[in-house]
Structure 1
């Protein structure tokens, strides 16, 4: 089968959609031909996402920001793919209706259930997927692939977790807010915790502005406990680090797989409900919206997590039960079953 995956990533929207679709694409490619469709623009704001895909040796067909439905249809008349899987918030009911007639099967990777979706299958890997009442927006024949049993974890995490050592004494803290940081949030958080008497490992995303990187580098020159990582091997960092401060996207599932107790930072509206659910279930220690950063005593929160061994143990115990390490294999098996009848 020929499968097209439609996803974007870059400075304005981050790289989360791209990263999880690369995981799914690599698994589907074992038994299908897989390519990507991505928007591009004169300002190159999607360039970071396109670069990530090409690094994995997938073919990328670029379309415009404006008439992307029309261009997908035009592209499909040339390539005749069997399946279109979309992972983008820039969709509406019209998008699904128009494109369905041009593909044998269509699927959507969702987080929020915001509109009617005329597709053959819905994927939502999040812990709150069952709370979104999908029956209101999909047909009775739409297959629902919901929950953390379908987590799209990269292969390196599926291997590295076996080597994780849970330490009694905390020495290493991870700070990661994703591939993009237009509002200098990494810097804001780092300023609040830089004086902690532990090692701070700070991830520099591939879509970070040069000015932000330089400001973070300036802090490291004054603090010998801060280490920065560009093009980071996240699995190795999560092996090393004992606790984390993280954006509340897909990284929360990676941290859970690697048994890293976390303080979550809500950077976008779509992250809020996942973060609150995980906090409610004691899967993360705490969460807060980035807009409230000045009201949060982050250093106190972090020290509480560091000092309370039993608290961390209870979080790790729950984390181990949360994520299906081989969820993407289950997901690909389900999709192959749908498209092969």
Structure 2
């Protein structure tokens, strides 16, 4: 009989879907060896579609973070043989304390290191983070950096073999599934207004994106043509990434997916919780600030030099073996 792994996260148009996508990626890795049970407050239809029929998704009642109802929402479900995985900023020390008393092992996926962790394992794939950034228990195990990248297995198995040297480049724009600040539209308008030369322009937005009509209006009158993709499957996202040797992205899950496939990424921080990822990718020369876009894309020689250097760095850092490492950790808990 397989051991249960109970995974807890939330996602919607306000907070984005990054936490949900990370636990989905982990569930994919663990599923052959564990029974994975997903717990989300009032999941949308798109979240149910993401997990499909392979995983059990429990809809939790909407409770206020920090309330007694919130702290106790999983207490009666968890047994002393279960591994519990938490991904979200509301799962503070008190939330962890109540579950750690019940569970076999407790795992936290994190990217802001702002609470005391009681978890047995802490995973942060941001990069540039050390043990000293965390307040944790003496026997906790910290898994830090891109060696533990949490992205869907399809991206780990996909390698770009074409069009890295294409110039003018084809460009992908994506600021996450929700993009509450509507950076997608402002970035598109900036590209069109600056008359940059590019092959094709592809935009991906998710079901939680609230500005679709405004975006469609701008695209309708755009020259050259812009291709808009909504509610894409993983396979469709990978196909679009393979067509685009340049991407303008938020420093979130989509960035890890794109550089794992390889390409020249320009990034713009859109939320406080992206700071560590942004700083690491820029300082490690894995991506460039979006402010460099005009400078790089107006010269084929400059583009080729920068793309070659950054992709060489990506090859060193993202070895596509993170899933194997994470599975080994869970099997040995």
TM-score (norm 1): 0.87
Structure 1 Cα separation of the partners of residues 32 and 310 of structure 2: 35
The total of aligned residue pairs comes to 319
Match of 1:237 in 2: 240
Q: Residues 125-147 of structure 1: CA distance to partner in whole angstroms, max 9, x if unpaired?
A: 1212326533xx11121111111
Shift of the 216–162 alpha-carbon distance from structure 1 to 2, 3 Å rule, reads: closer
Which protein has the bigger helix share? 1
Cα deviation for residue 298 of structure 1 reads: 5.5
Between 1:188-197 and 1:54-63, the stretch displaced more is 54-63
Helix, strand or coil at the partner of 2:90? coil
Cα deviation for residue 58 of structure 1 reads: 1.5
Shift of the 131–303 alpha-carbon distance from structure 1 to 2, 3 Å rule, reads: farther
- Given the alignment of the two structures, is residue 51 of structure 1 paired with residue 54 of structure 2, yes or no? no
Structure 2 Cα separation of the partners of residues 180 and 48 of structure 1: 15
Structure 1: stretches of 5+ with no match in the other structure: 41-45, 288-295
Q: Residues 276-323 of structure 1: CA distance to partner in whole angstroms, max 9, x if unpaired?
A: 221112111215xxxxxxxx6854565468852111111111111111
Kept in 2, the 8 Å contact 1:153–1:325? The answer is no
> Aligned Cα RMSD in Å?
2.2
Match of 2:203 in 1: 202
Which of 309, 317, 328 is the matching residue for 1:333? 328
Cα deviation for residue 105 of structure 1 reads: 0.8
Kept in 1, the 8 Å contact 2:168–2:297? The answer is no
Match of 1:222 in 2: 221
Shift of the 164–129 alpha-carbon distance from structure 1 to 2, 3 Å rule, reads: farther
Match of 1:246 in 2: 249
1:20-169 alignment to 2 at 5 Å?
20-40=22-42, 46-47=43-44, 50-55=47-52, 57-63=54-60, 64-66=62-64, 67-76=69-78, 82-130=82-130, 133-134=133-134, 137-161=135-159, 163-169=161-167
Cα deviation for residue 90 of structure 1 reads: 1.0
Helix, strand or coil at the partner of 1:257? helix
Match of 2:281 in 1: 278
Shift of the 61–104 alpha-carbon distance from structure 1 to 2, 3 Å rule, reads: same
Structure 2: stretches of 5+ with no match in the other structure: none
Helix, strand or coil at the partner of 1:72? coil
Cα deviation for residue 331 of structure 1 reads: 0.4
Cα deviation for residue 325 of structure 1 reads: 0.7
Shift of the 301–51 alpha-carbon distance from structure 1 to 2, 3 Å rule, reads: farther
Structure 2 Cα separation of the partners of residues 120 and 217 of structure 1: 47
Match of 1:180 in 2: 178
Cα deviation for residue 60 of structure 1 reads: 1.4
Cα deviation for residue 177 of structure 1 reads: 0.5
Helix, strand or coil at the partner of 1:76? coil
Cα deviation for residue 213 of structure 1 reads: 1.1
Cα deviation for residue 56 of structure 1 reads: 5.5
